[in-house]
Amino acid sequence: MALREQLHRIGLALVLVVGTGTLGVADDKGRADEHGRVQQVVVLDNCDPATFNEAAGPGTCLNVTGPQGVAFPAFLAALPAGHPQWLFYPATLRIKRGDTVRAVNQGGEIHTFTEVEEFGGGFVPPLNDPPNAPAVLECADGHANISVASTRLIQGSSLLVTDLPKGVHRFECCIHPWMRMEIEVK
């Protein structure tokens, strides 16, 4: 996607959020005034706070999972394919032109919800498949890249994706690149 188009989309999202203050609140039929439906994507992980924060630093994992959490060694053992409890749900979504997608981070870690031309590596080389594979263009350079910085989801936060053109759009977490989904716009 062209940078200009991305900036345009980010600008639109900001205008809608700041300008109307209502977009994120759908009515009981799932409608948002004048902007179609709001469809939700849940961003999930199951990190175990004790082992993740010890290995990767305080605040890495803010989950309250208790004993069902995935311990850091088990997370590492699932690489390079990646642990299946780190995911976007649903994996595919069909929406209509004008609908808004809201991605909500209900996991314990920071994620990104980044549109990519093709799925591929993220900006944390050991988490790629194969390990150390190059990051895709949209994920390269991590938070220094506007397409990453503008799609970052800290714990408990959400992101609105508006104005998606017709066609199939791919979204990936630039930190955990096996977290992927497709949105088809009719």
Residues in the chain: 186
- 176 binds Cu ion per the rule CB under 5 A: yes
d(CA 133, CA 4): 27
CB nearer Cu ion, residue 28 or residue 118: 118
Q: Please choose, from the candidates 100, 106, 90, the residue with its C-alpha nearest in 3D space to the C-alpha of residue 156.
A: 106
The site string for Cu ion over 81-120 (x = CB under 5 A, - otherwise) reads ------------------------------x---------
CB nearer Cu ion, residue 37 or residue 180: 180
Residue among 175, 181, 183, 185 that touches Cu ion (CB under 5 A)? 175
d(CA 138, CA 83): 22
C-beta separation of 88 from 41 below 8 A? yes
- 44 binds Cu ion per the rule CB under 5 A: no
Which residue carries 């870690």 as its tokens? 109
Q: Please choose, from the candidates 43, 5, 57, the residue with its C-alpha nearest in 3D space to the C-alpha of residue 172.
A: 43
Paired with 89 in beta bridges are 42
CB nearer Cu ion, residue 9 or residue 176: 176
Residue among 173, 181, 183, 185 that touches Cu ion (CB under 5 A)? 173
* DSSP 8-state symbol, 121: B
Q: How far is the CB of 15 from Cu ion (least distance, A)?
A: 27
- 35 binds Cu ion per the rule CB under 5 A: no
Which residues are at the interface with Cu ion (CB under 5 A)?
111, 173, 175-176, 179
